[in-house]
Structures are given as structure tokens and as C-alpha cells.
């Protein structure tokens, strides 16, 4: 019962009931990425969407699926997989607002001393 109530009101933790119902009635599964996110489109191919595996966070969509979702490429990565470049790194979630977020040296949330300004900075004067 609690999961049902969460699906009605808490959209950022899972797909809502409306999305699941729409997916069930009109969706056609296209594929799944390495994180378990599942991608759908309508039978006529006009609309495309993702149902996340876990927390709903747009940065969890890999680049190849992002291109397909926004109709940059016609075929999904399951049909036409992209060539992996040797310099590419694996996908990393957006860590903003978490303990793993980046804080430069000298910021208020990180210990340390800020580097002094160099000679390339000139203050604006009206």
C-alpha cells in the first residue's frame, strides 16, 4: 500500500502510475542500457521515453541513448551500437548535492587555502 501511495506522489524515486499505465498501453520496449534503465517508444515511433531503474536522474542516461531519446539518431543503440573510443570513460552520475560533489581548493566546504590571484586578473571599473 505504501509503494502505491509513493508512486502517486513521489515521481523522483520511480515511474508514476500514469507513466506505467501509458507505457503498458502504448509503449513498445526498444532496449535497456547497462544501468538497467528501460527505453520505450510509441508504436508509431513519435514519442520516446525512459523508465529509470532507481532514482529518476537525467544524468543517468548514457550518451548513445540520449541521442536516440532526442531523435538525433534514428536507430537505437541496440540496433546500431556506437563504437567505443579508447579514451572514453564509463558513465558517472551527477554528484552535485552529495558528499561526492567536487569542491575546488579554497571553497567554503573544503579545507585548504585558495591560490592567490595571479597577474592575469583585472577588476572591472565602471
pLDDT in tens, 75-92: 999 998 888 889 988 777
Ranges of the chain whose pLDDT falls below 70: 1, 7, 11-12, 112, 114, 117, 119
User: d(Cα 31, Cα 11) in Å, to the nearest integer?
Assistant: 22
**What's the pTM?**
0.69
How many other CB atoms are there within 10 angstroms of residue 68's CB atom?
25
Residue 108's alpha-carbon distances to 29, 55, 96, in angstroms, are 46, 29, 15
Helix (H, G, I), strand (E, B) or coil at 20: helix
User: d(Cα 76, Cα 68) in Å, to the nearest integer?
Assistant: 6
How many other CB atoms are there within 10 angstroms of residue 73's CB atom?
16
Amino acid at each position: 500500500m505504501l509503494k502505491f501511495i509513493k508512486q502517486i506522489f513521489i515521481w523522483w524515486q520511480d515511474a508514476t502510475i500514469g507513466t506505467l499505465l501509458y507505457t503498458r498501453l502504448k509503449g513498445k520496449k526498444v532496449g535497456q542500457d547497462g544501468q538497467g534503465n528501460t527505453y520505450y517508444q510509441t508504436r508509431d515511433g513519435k514519442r520516446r521515453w525512459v523508465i529509470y531503474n532507481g532514482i529518476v536522474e537525467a544524468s543517468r542516461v548514457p550518451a548513445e541513448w540520449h541521442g536516440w531519446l532526442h531523435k538525433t539518431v534514428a536507430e537505437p543503440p541496440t540496433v546500431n551500437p556506437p563504437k567505443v573510443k579508447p579514451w572514453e570513460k564509463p558513465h558517472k552520475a551527477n554528484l552535485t548535492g552529495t558528499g561526492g560533489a567536487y569542491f575546488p581548493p579554497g571553497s567554503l566546504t573544503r579545507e585548504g587555502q585558495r591560490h592567490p590571484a595571479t597577474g592575469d586578473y583585472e577588476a572591472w571599473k565602471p
